[in-house]
């Protein structure tokens, strides 16, 4: 009986102690509000808070909003801007192409030298020379001119030693590549009616797959290396990734890109906005990338014609550069012919020239359009675009 009595007394004490402990719990915890986790070790950081999305009318990123009584203002940490790249100087880049062509043992130069250094040149030898030139995509007309000149000089001079043959061939190849052509890309615009200098507007055209958008980005780097200010216009609005790709190229060297916020926008409107911005900012050069569609000549003419008309309301065109893939041979010449008729091409950019032994395409495309090759692509690197140099090119072919 005494044991049972003591058991009831003990239970009563437990109940009284539990009720008292409940009274000691803060009221906020009893109501379900959140407080700092008492179980967390001293000195641990509070849970991270997601970055806020700045809505229109709120404080811009990097500014501290006005404080509200009773509200703690968080520290604002500005993200570090990515370091800008410094493009390689454009001068001397063609030396790399010469070296690559020489190291590859260019079949064009090697075969020509091999035949011309024979003791006696038969008609079969001259036929072999002609075949070599045609396989190098030099074109029938230029090939005939080169062979006629070589026949005459070999017969008159009677040269046979390797050094003399090489010097003779170099002269004739250089003559048909034509070092006298003006290969400079215009980077200075005219003076407007208000006396202010207008930007030099460069329209870049060509079919998809030739590396056109990449070439625009690389050309921007060439111009930055020449201390020119540049604005890019992403007027290729039909290829979803084109504007992103161009903007990435520009951001690496601090060049702004004007683009539409939607796919399929009017390319002429984007081009106009780019030129307008370039004019307002006093920019030296505006590079406009265009769509590379070539379904039919009429559609291409309408699109490029509209872009040209709209652009020239702000500033005249300084250049129309046609981008061609050097590995496409005669197909590239067909593309050149269409764009030459439609766009008023003023210069040619040959990409992937280091990936082909068919260096004769330089001569063929110049003859086809009557305009010079101004830039050549040397490889995959960001600074592998170079102003074309006729002498360096011929020396590379001959090794």
What are the tens digits of pLDDT across the range 259-294? 998 878 899 999 999 999 999 999 999 999 998 876
Q: Are residues 364 and 273 in the same domain?
A: yes
What is the domain extent for residue 206? 200-389
Ligand-binding annotation for 354, yes or no, is yes
Ligand-binding annotation for 189, yes or no, is no
Per-residue pLDDT at 65: 45
Ligand-binding annotation for 291, yes or no, is yes
Ligand-binding annotation for 212, yes or no, is yes
CATH number, domain of 291, equals 3.40.50.300
Q: Are residues 375 and 244 in the same domain?
A: yes
In a domain, 58, yes or no: no
Within 10 A of 256 (CB to CB), how many other CB atoms are there?
A: 17
Q: Are residues 242 and 305 in the same domain?
A: yes
Residue with structure tokens 């170099």? 170
Ligand-binding annotation for 210, yes or no, is yes
User: CA-to-CA distance for 240 and 109, rounded, in angstroms?
Assistant: 42
Distances (CA, A) of 304 to 140, 185, 198, 269, 310: 31, 20, 21, 12, 10
Ligand-binding annotation for 141, yes or no, is no
Ligand-binding annotation for 359, yes or no, is no
Q: Are residues 129 and 169 in the same domain?
A: yes
In a domain, 155, yes or no: yes
48 — phi, psi (to 5°)? -70, 150
For the segment 322-380, what is each residue's pLDDT rounded down to a tens digit? Answer: 999 888 777 778 888 888 888 889 999 998 876 655 677 888 889 888 899 999 987 78
Ligand-binding annotation for 209, yes or no, is yes
Q: Are residues 147 and 266 in the same domain?
A: no
For the segment 191-204, what is each residue's pLDDT rounded down to a tens digit? Answer: 988 888 999 999 99
User: CA-to-CA distance for 201 and 291, rounded, in angstroms?
Assistant: 17
- Predicted TM-score (pTM) of the model is 0.76
């Amino acid at each position: 009986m005494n044991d049972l009595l003591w058991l009831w007394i003990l239970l009563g004490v437990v109940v009284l102690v539990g009720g008292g402990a409940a009274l000691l719990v803060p009221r906020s915890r009893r109501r379900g509000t959140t407080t700092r986790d008492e179980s967390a070790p001293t000195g641990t950081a509070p849970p991270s808070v997601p970055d806020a999305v700045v809505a229109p009318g709120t404080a811009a990123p990097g500014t501290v909003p006005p404080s509200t009584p009773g509200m703690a203002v968080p520290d604002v940490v500005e993200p570090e801007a990515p370091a800008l790249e410094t493009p390689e100087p454009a001068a001397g880049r063609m030396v790399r192409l010469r070296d690559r062509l020489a190291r590859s043992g260019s079949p064009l130069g090697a075969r020509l030298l091999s035949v011309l250094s024979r003791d006696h040149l038969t008609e079969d030898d001259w036929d072999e020379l002609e075949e070599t030139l045609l396989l190098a995509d030099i074109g029938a007309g230029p090939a005939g001119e080169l062979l006629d000149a070589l026949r005459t000089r070999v017969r008159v001079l009677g040269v046979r030693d390797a050094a003399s043959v090489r010097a003779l061939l170099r002269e004739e190849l250089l003559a048909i590549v034509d070092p006298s052509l003006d290969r400079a890309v215009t980077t200075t615009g005219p003076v407007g009616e208000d006396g202010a200098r207008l930007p030099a507007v460069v329209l870049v055209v060509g079919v998809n797959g030739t590396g056109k958008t990449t070439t625009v980005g690389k050309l921007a780097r060439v111009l930055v290396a020449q201390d020119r200010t540049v604005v890019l216009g992403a007027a290729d609005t039909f290829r979803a990734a084109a504007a992103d790709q161009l903007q990435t190229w520009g951001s690496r060297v601090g060049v702004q890109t004007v683009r539409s916020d939607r796919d399929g926008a009017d390319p002429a409107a984007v081009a106009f906005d780019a030129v307008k911005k370039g004019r307002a900012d006093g920019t030296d050069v505006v590079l406009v990338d265009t769509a590379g569609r070539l379904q039919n000549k009429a559609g291409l003419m309408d699109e490029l014609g509209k872009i040209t008309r709209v652009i020239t309301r702000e500033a005249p065109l300084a250049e129309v550069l046609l981008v061609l893939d050097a590995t496409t041979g005669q197909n590239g010449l067909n593309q050149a012919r269409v764009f030459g008729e439609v766009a008023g091409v003023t210069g040619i950019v040959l990409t992937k020239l280091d990936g082909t032994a068919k260096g004769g395409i330089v001569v063929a495309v110049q003859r086809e359009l009557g305009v010079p090759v101004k830039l050549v692509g040397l490889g995959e690197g960001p600074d592998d675009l170079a102003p074309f140099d006729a002498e360096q090119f011929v020396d590379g072919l001959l090794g």
